[in-house]
Amino acid sequence: MNKAQRVEFIQQKLDSLYPETPIPLNHKDPYTLLVAVLLSAQCTDARVNLVTPALFDKADNPFAMADLSVTEVEEIIRPCGLAPKKAAAIVQLSRILVSSFSGLVPESFEELERLPGVGHKTASVVMSQAFGHPAFPVDTHIHRLAQRWGLSSGRNVVQTEKDLKRLFPSSRWNRLHLQIIFYGREFCTARGCDGTVCEICRTCFPTRTKPKKTLKS
């Protein structure tokens, strides 16, 4: 298969497996999604979904969260890891939303990425999943699959995002990002597939005999 054929096959396969793409993090609005995505750094979505009900029972909007102390938030979110850093970011960004954005999550990459604890990937998730703007959030899992599938040879997620955006139409980015995550969790896991095991890897590279190592910067 050449790259164009791989792109077409991957799209068809993912569409057949995942015709629906529910957002994995439980939330009710852009703010609660923003907080949940921030908590998901180096933590599973499943664990975040176990922690956020207690957090959102106490504060599910920027005004209530801004009134909490960092220590109060840290105690609740401790199971998610990196609790001191995440708690400080959540409280600080909530206070900024109250003081500068009337309590609303801004609908732009530039303004989102200026908030404490919000990097490009987090901003991309919020822009795509909360507001519906075309974005292609790339984490280490998507980076790994893109290399296994011969879609990118970038050494970091920044280059992989650029490569994937060139290969797929913007109308597919939001859905495809989730489909790749779902497939990576179910079939092409970090340990369960080395680039030679799952159906997509075997179909795209039927003669590959050695594990595909993920390039990193």
Helix axes 3-17, 170-186, angle to 10 degrees: 70
Domain spans of the chain?
3-20+136-204, 30-130
Q: Please give the average per-residue pLDDT across 198-211, as a whole number.
A: 96
Q: What is the dihedral of CA 23, 29, 32, 34, to 10 degrees?
A: 70
Q: What is the DSSP letter of 21?
A: -
Whole-angstrom CA distances from 190 to 35, 51, 211 are 26, 25, 12
Kindly indicate the confidence band of residue 217, based on its pLDDT and cuts at 50, 70 and 90.
low
Architecture in CATH for domain 3-20+136-204: Orthogonal Bundle (1.10)
Distance of CA 174 to the CA centre of its chain: 10
Global pTM value: 0.94
Query: Does domain 30-130 sit in CATH 1.25.60.10?
Result: no
Is the pLDDT score of 66 beyond 90?
Answer: yes
pLDDT by residue (tens digit) across 119-158?
A: 999 999 999 999 999 999 999 889 999 999 999 998 999 9
- Give catalytic residue positions: 121, 139
The domains spanning 3-20+136-204 and 30-130 adopt the same CATH topology: no
Indicate the average pLDDT of the chain: 96
